[in-house]
Amino acid sequence: MLKIHLVWVEKTKDAWLRQGIDHYLDRLKPFAQPRVIQVRSKRKAGAFSASQVMYHEGKALLMALPKDCFVFALDEKGKMLTSLEFARLLERLELQGKRKLAFVIGGHLGLSSDVTKRAAFCLSLSPMTFTHDMARLILLEQLYRAFTIKAGLPYHK
């Protein structure tokens, strides 16, 4: 079964967002094995500038990536896709034998260029800027949507 690693910075703060994320993680389970990996930030350690925090978060995200993953970086400057194009892309990766995907979401400062360089695909969810926490929920909903499209199923919330 396809493994999907969701790699992001720190725990999701709001309880309602955590519930929404769990809702779609559960919905994904018939289609894939999703696994959330949360890395620590130095943001609250003090004595670090914004760029240092971003650099360290980037290092931690890269370290947390399992081997041989096809890596998506969520990035405002990335490529936008329709939900259908996203589903077709996941389908193509599966046909190419990619069994492990990772989706990396930066902290509130965004992703360091170390991470976007490592990524095989930089994905933008919208021209609008979302909080990094909301991006988690929106990505998971799109993953679920993609699997229902791939399977030719009607969409069930």
Q: Does 157 bind a second copy (CB under 8 A)?
A: yes
Q: Does 46 bind a second copy (CB under 8 A)?
A: no
In the complex, least distance from residue 122 CB atom to a second copy, rounded to whole angstroms: 15
Which span (37-45, 60-68, 97-105, 126-134) binds a second copy, by CB under 8 A?
126-134
Amino acid identity, residue 20? G
In the complex, least distance from residue 114 CB atom to a second copy, rounded to whole angstroms: 25
Spatial CA neighbour of 64 closest among 109, 130, 141, 10? 10
Long-range contacts of 41-48 (CB under 8 A, 24+ apart): 41/9, 41/10, 41/107, 43/10, 43/107, 43/108
Amino acid identity, residue 13? K
Question: Of how many residues is the chain composed?
Answer: 157
Q: Which two tokens stand for residue 63?
A: 């370290």
Nearer to a second copy, 31 or 118 (CB): 31
Q: Does 80 bind a second copy (CB under 8 A)?
A: yes
Residue of the chain from 2, 3, 10, 23 that contacts a second copy (CB under 8 A): 23
The DSSP call for residue 46 is: S
Q: Does 44 bind a second copy (CB under 8 A)?
A: no
Q: Does 95 bind a second copy (CB under 8 A)?
A: no
Q: Which two tokens stand for residue 152?
A: 């030719």
- C-beta neighbour count of 30 within 10 angstroms: 12
Residue of the chain from 82, 95, 97, 152 that contacts a second copy (CB under 8 A): 82
Residues forming the site for a second copy (CB under 8 A): 13-17, 19-20, 23, 80-83, 86, 125-131, 133-134, 137-138, 141-142, 145, 155, 157
